[in-house]
Every structure is written in structure tokens, then in C-alpha cells.
Amino acid sequence: MRFNDLRQLEDSLLIETDICIVGSGPAGLSIAREFAGTNIQVWIIESGGLEEDPDTQALYNIESVGAPRVMQQEVIRSRIFGGSSHIWTGRCAPFDRLDFQARPWIPHSGWPISREQIDPYLERAGVNLGLGPHCYDEQLWELFKVSRPTPLLDEQVLKSAFWQFSKSSKERGQPTRFGRHFMSSHAPNVNVLLHANVTHLNTNESGTRLESVEVSTLENRRGSIKAKAIILCCGGIENARLLLASNRILPNGVGNQNDTVGRFLMDHPGCVIGSFDPQRSTKVRSRFGQYWLDNSQGRHVYLQGVTLSPEIQAREGLLNCAAFLEEYAAQDDPWIALKRIRKSLKKQSKTSFPTIDQAMFWRRETPTETALAPSLYQDAMAVLGHPHIASQGIYRRLAKHRPPLPKAERIDLYCLVEQLPDPESRITLSDTKDALGMPLSKIDWKISDREMQTVRRLSQVLCQELERIGLSPPTLADWLDAKEDWQSNFTDRAHPIGTTRIAENPKEGVVNSDCQVHGVEGLFVAGSSVFPTTGHANPTLMVVAMSIRLADWLKINYFNQQGGVL
């Protein structure tokens, strides 16, 4: 794979290729990897470089006019080779089967493809992400080599939810950082163009075929790329923004003949719905905490939580929703102190890549998290001063094959809820321009009463179920009973979804089931923007799976490679 910097190439450069991929995040690099080492020429167009750059990052600025969103875009999105995998936490889960179905109580729900059709691609996506077995249900207990916890939950009300965490093959304790991992791949047919910001999508005069993309550096050095297939992999906000802003020939933007681009903006509204007393919650933390699964690829970490059952969702007209424990370790927790001691003794070099903690922007800071880092002596005293926590942790590791429970300062019950697909929740173009002269994204994100109703119901049934099985319930948040201003308790999780949604009917979506833009030959979209619904699961696993699926379709249907194998 060859890296090229547009700033160092001739002005008005023209590149001709087979595939042009706009964006080098998990979607773009997963597609490129499927073509690596073939006779198909691929160019990946990346706005950033190999290091962070504040001026390039500023191109992500937004105007927010709806429900509050995180305005510090640098903590949730990255213009750098590898995209936002540069800062993610690695949490992965597939969407539920119910999420793909047309649900009568949820307008605009339903995918033109099923979960069964996606499963093979989820397996392959797991390889890219360094995941363990493609299993997210009660069969995991056998794989964990532990007994299923009892008493059982009433599965007509609540079901277990499982997430697993992406694991880097190169950096211990980090998720897959796509840029760093892909750079070493042997792929002479793949080129990367860095510091190249796509400013316009050029179609033919009728707007029915995409012919090229225009690129520019911040210094105004320009070029263009012509390709047989052009794939937008810029994320749930930028995919829509670029289509809308490409309006020289088509006044409403490319692919927007039915005014669907930018509509149905969804996310995963996150909120703290309760808290547990750290002194009385050992049993709850043990049951719904982390589990380990060891195989030939090493150790894989899973987290258990709960989700509303499909039955109660259908019966009460609710959305999909999940809850899990969010723990804040005390400053003098012996296990955290021991990790700091190890790092200090090893004198590990600093990395320019964010840590997992830095990526968890939604967490509320505690006094100990804002305090000065403890000294080596204080850490040593923390390890020696809590022998009971240390012994319990050793027992859990050796006898239970599970990570230790840290000494907790606070334990929140955190919730992620699906959003009602709403065409009025949308992205349009702002009057404000960025440094390239492109309009910023104007985001009118809407959270409906259905989300609040769902979250409130989950909190109620969870308390009832915990009491029934003999566990201490949480103290619920006061805002759950509020009739006004409850939206301020939700935080977007930087999972923009739905703005170029899949639909077989062009009047209901932007791309067809093959992710090709309706009415625009040669233009495809990958990423969470094509999802018609959000489920409750973090989207990266689904993003990678759908990207691999698109790559297979291109192999067979666009480049005459039978069987999808090159």
C-alpha cells in the first residue's frame, strides 16, 4: 500500500482508478481490505494525515439547532487515517433480529435485508475487529466455562444482553485501531491520498451517474479522482453533508431527488437512570459485570447487561433498549494502583493515540478522576492497604475466571435506547462555511416521547426483576418522573445513524439494498448512515459487516469476479 500526500503532489492532479473510497475509517478500510492484493485498483481518500491536526479537525464543526449534541467534535470524531477508530472504546454487538423487522408500532421501521443474511458478514467483521466467537446469547455461559447465573430473569420481560470488546493484535488493552493495523498490509494495488478533502461529487449533466470527486488541501492544492465505483465512507453526518453540498448540477444535492438525504437522523441517546450503593452492590456487579473467554486468539472480554424483551416491546409499543453498569473506580483501588505501578516501572513510552478512558466522553467526572495522579508511594500503599480486595480479586481470577471487582467510588446504571425514525430529525446545510468554503452540517436532532417512555419502563421492570431474584435494586434518577426538560439528561453517543437510509422505494430512502444511491450509477454509501433503525447496540460491528457485504457485491456485480473471491 502506497501513501501519497496531496500537499506534495502537482496541482490539478487527475487520478483514474477502479474504486475510490472516501474515508479511511472502519467502513472504508474494511472495503479496501477485501480488494487488497487483487487486480482492482483502489484509492482511499482521507481528509487527515497520519497524525492529528487541529486545523483539519475543525472541518468537523457543526451547527446544532435541535436536542443538545456534543459540540467538541474532536472527542468523538477524527479526521485521521483510520477515522474514528482512532478514539473509540471497542464495544461491539450485532443488532437484534427484531431490529431488522417492520414493527407495526414503529413507523418507518424494517430493513430490506434480514439478520440471517447479515450473519456471515458479522463473522467476517469479527476478524477485522479482533473479536471472539460470534455469539451474543445464553450459549456464552458454556464458552465462559461458568454456570448460568440463577435465579433466571423472566425472559418475557428482560433478556440478557452481551457486548464484547474489540482487541488489538498489536497494542495490549486497546481496541483495533484501523489505521495503525492497515498500514502494514501488503496491498500494492491500494493507494492512500492523505490531506485530501472531498469538496464536491461530480455527476454527468443529468445527475444519473457519478463521474468524479473533487479534492482540496487546506492550502488550496486541488485534484480530482475518476473511478468506476465511488464509495462514501465518511460517517453518519459527513455522508449526508457531502451529498447535500454537491449541488452544482442538482440543486438539492446528489441522490436527493426525493428530499431524503439527511433525514431520519438517529443516535443512541444515553442516560444514567439510576445508581447503586458501592457498599451493597457486590452481587449485582458480579452478576452483570465482565466475563472472560479464552481461545487460541487469546483473551476476549465480554460485558453482560439487560435489554427489554421483544415480547414487552411489541405488547407495550416500546423501542429497543439496554442497560448496563458504569463503574467508577476509587483512586485507591488496589488493582488500578497496581496497573499504574507496572506502567511506571516499565517506563512505557507515551503514545499519540487516545486511551480508552479518554474516549469515554459521556462519563461524569468524579472528584478522584480530576485529582492529581497518585505518587508511586501512594499506589503502593493502596495495594498493601486493601488485602481483602486483593484476595477477592485473586479468587475471582483463578477460581471464577473473571476480572477482579475494583473498589468503586460510584456505580451508575447506564441506558442506551433506540430512536424512533423521524424524517424531521435531520441534517441540512448551515449558512456558516468551513475553511474550505463548504457549509457546515446543521443538525436538528430530535428525541421523542417514545424514547423517554421506553427508558422509564426499562427502569421499572429492571427494579422489579432485581427484587424478585434477590438483588438490591438501584436508586432511580429523579428526572425519570419529570414531565419537562427531560431531554437534557440524554447524551448523544456519537453514533449518527440513518441519514442515507436503505430502502427499496427511492421515496423512502437514499440507497437500495446493495447500498447504491438510488438513481446515481457508480455511487455507493457505507457506514451507519445507511441503517434504517438503530437498535440499542453500538454500530461499529454492523458497519464493518455491511461494508464487507458491499465489497462482495462489488466483486461479483461490478468487477465480474465470480463468487465474490478475487
Interatomic CA distance for residues 195 and 286, integer angstroms? 47
Examine the pLDDT at 563 and tell me if it is beyond 60.
Answer: no
What is the pLDDT, as a whole number, of residue 565?
39
Residue 357 pLDDT more than 70? no
Per-residue model confidence (pLDDT) at position 368 = 59
Evaluate if residue 361 carries a pLDDT over 80: no
Question: Does 335 have pLDDT greater than 50?
Answer: yes
- Pick the closest to residue 256 from 21, 523, 513 (CA basis): 523
Q: Residue 178 CA to chain centroid, in angstroms?
A: 13
Tell me the three state secondary structure of residue 390.
Answer: helix
Q: List Cα–Cα distances, 399 to 140, 153, 391, 392, 437, in angstroms.
A: 18, 25, 12, 10, 61
HSE (side-chain half, CA atoms, 13 Å) at 448: 19
- Strands 210-216 and 222-232 come out as antiparallel
Report which of residues 367 and 58 the model is more confident about.
58
Taking alpha carbons only, the member of 191, 158, 245 closest to residue 81 is 191
359 pLDDT band (50/70/90 cuts)? low
Supply the pLDDT for residue 188: 92
Weakest-pLDDT range from 75-79, 146-150, 367-371: 367-371
pLDDT on residue 539:
97
Which grid coordinates belong to 507? 421515496
Q: Running DSSP on this structure, what letter comes out for residue 370? A: H
List the domains of the chain with CATH numbers. Answer: 1-131+167-269+419-446+496-566 (3.50.50.60)
Three-state DSSP at 522 gives coil
Q: Shortest CA distance to 20 belongs to which of 6, 41, 36, 50?
A: 41
- What's the angle, vertex CA 530, arms to CA 510 and CA 550, rounded to 5? 100
The per-residue DSSP string of 141-193 comes to HHHHTSPPPSSPP-TTTEEEEEEEE---SSSTT----HHHHHTT---TTEEEE
- State how far the Cα of 493 lies from the Cα of 549, in Å rounded to an integer: 25
pLDDT interval class at 403 (50, 70, 90) = confident
pLDDT at residue number 354: 56
Instruction: Please count the other Cβ atoms lying within 10 Å of the Cβ belonging to residue 419.
Output: 28
Confidence of residue 150 (pLDDT cuts 50, 70, 90): very high
Which pLDDT does position 387 carry in this prediction?
72
Q: What is the pLDDT of residues 446-483, one digit of tens each?
A: 999 999 999 999 999 999 999 999 999 999 999 999 98
Length of the chain equals: 566
Residue 269 contacts residue 258 (beta carbons within 8 Å): no
Nearest alpha carbon to residue 526 among 34, 160, 11: 34
Grid coordinates given for 509: 430512502
Measured between alpha carbons, how far is 237 from 497 in angstroms, rounded to an integer? 8
Please classify residue 170 by burial: count the beta carbons closer than 10 Å to its beta carbon, then call 0-12 exposed, 13-18 middle and 19+ buried: exposed
Looking at every residue in the chain, the average pLDDT score rounds to: 91
Q: What are the helix (H) ranges across 138-245?
A: 140-144, 178-182, 238-245
27: cell is: 467502513
> Which pLDDT belongs to residue 562?
42
pLDDT at 494 over 80: yes
- pLDDT tens, position by position, 40-62: 999 999 999 999 999 999 999 99
Which pLDDT score, from 0 to 100, does residue 561 have?
54
pLDDT digits (tens, 9 = 90+) for 294-328: 998 899 999 999 999 999 999 999 999 999 999 99
pLDDT score of 340: 73
All cell numbers assigned to 441: 452540517
